[in-house]
Amino acid sequence: MYDFYFGDKESIEKDPKQWLITIKRMLPRWPNGIPDTEFLAIYDQLTALEADGTFQRDRKMVLVETGSGASTIVLLYFSLKWDTELYTWDISGNKLSYLRAMLTDTLLRHFSEKNIFNHWKYVAYDSKSPYVGIPMLAELGRTVVGCFLDSDHTWDNLKSEVAAVCPLMVKGGMVAIDDGNYTYGRVNTAYVNMLRTKLGLSSVDIPDNRCGTFWEETEALLKTRFPRVENQNGGTYRQNFETDIFWSYYSADRRNMADLGMEKLNELAHRFDAWRVYHE
């Protein structure tokens, strides 16, 4: 399905960002949930980890992702480039299988000497499980140089994921989140009401379900775990999101999501946030 000609190896390596965004834009809507500028901001953050020497090949440093989709493209690209591993948690095994086929037709054409199973470890289970979730990376002797957290959008879930990854983070590592403008504490009310609307039911308002914005809550939690936390101010996402064609291309879908509270169109500046964390 994705077995197109994207150019020769030399041309791809001259402009990998253009190659990667081309692959992203070929995705159907359901796995293509993040804006192009957020996708490229992840690329830029990971490039910085390489440029400043934070990523080191001999220290078993890996990448972590919760939820899967367009972000998997750019994270696996760096996993292949760095000759390390990307660990992805998503409860949808079908989605992971679909992405594997797409990634094989695209990224693995370029990295033809490599095997996807050696570089992408995907787990169709709860990321918080002490047995097969993020904590099991310690059993494998892995440390985390960068993570992108984008699974169930409640603070209860995100807080647990951040807490699980903190002990594994390397000095200067990146913690990044999607939908940092959300304020759902225990239940993602917007998602629940979207499902209720489709079922012909009225919307519900769940009491005592508000928290601070995810980006504020995440930063506060990180500051309890690390002596130095550097907010990246949204990276290149915040510099470019207002002109992103993603919003106009999916405008009808975005408006409907906004009506249900799933897209915070007035608070898009904090759709993506990232931090660098330091042990000293």
What pLDDT shows up at residue 57? Answer: 86
Residues in the chain, pLDDT under 50: none
What pLDDT shows up at residue 206? Answer: 95
What pLDDT shows up at residue 7? Answer: 80
Residue the block writes with tokens 């936390």: 229
What pLDDT shows up at residue 252? Answer: 66
Closest to 37 (Cα-Cα) out of 194, 175, 244: 244
What pLDDT shows up at residue 249? Answer: 82
What pLDDT shows up at residue 102? Answer: 96
Domain ranges of the chain: 9-179+229-249+268-278
Its pTM stands at 0.93
Q: What is the second-level CATH architecture of the domain 9-179+229-249+268-278?
A: 3-Layer(aba) Sandwich (3.40)
Q: pLDDT tens across 109-151, in order?
A: 999 999 999 999 999 999 999 999 999 999 999 999 999 999 9
What pLDDT shows up at residue 8? Answer: 84
Residues near 163 by beta carbon (within 8 Å), at least 6 away in sequence: 221, 225
Identity of the residue numbered 224: T
What pLDDT shows up at residue 256? Answer: 64
Q: pLDDT tens across 178-187, in order?
A: 999 999 999 9
